[in-house]
Amino acid sequence: MNMPIAQAVVLAVCCLVFQFLAFLIRASTGSEDVSAVWIISAACVLFFAFLNAILALQAESVGTYVVGSFSGYFLVLLGCVGIAYGFALGSTDGAESIRFIFAIITFAYFIFLTIAVLMRKIIDYAQRQDTEHKT
């Protein structure tokens, strides 16, 4: 299985666990506020974006990793939003401002990944120059 896809699946499962815990807390307190489930989903998506960009530095094939990373990102984004929608019981009361946050996280993900790929290319170039200079 592709590494970013596996990361997305693990993070979606973690999101499901955290959502279930938030649901239990909300049910035990009798709260009607569902904004916490949307915030948990946004935090999981942001964590995936950050972790995935860091792990892109260690990928053997950057091109393959980036393609898998995009697939994984959209998988975790759709999964976490779907989980939040389910645990919010179809209510989008807390989601209006969160939509903007998801857009910002998506933009930040592309920035993180671009920086990581560029850093990786610079490191590869420096290592090639170092080995060529030594010989």
What's this model's pTM, rounded to 2 decimal places? 0.85
Q: Write down the domain spans for the chain.
A: 3-134
Quote the pLDDT of residue 29: 87
Q: How far apart are CA 119 and CA 54, in angstroms?
A: 10
Quote the pLDDT of residue 1: 53
Which DSSP state fits 127?
A: H
Quote the pLDDT of residue 109: 93
**Residue spans of the chain under pLDDT 50:** none
Q: How far apart are CA 63 and CA 42, in angstroms?
A: 26
Quote the pLDDT of residue 93: 65
Residue 5 tokens read as 């896809």
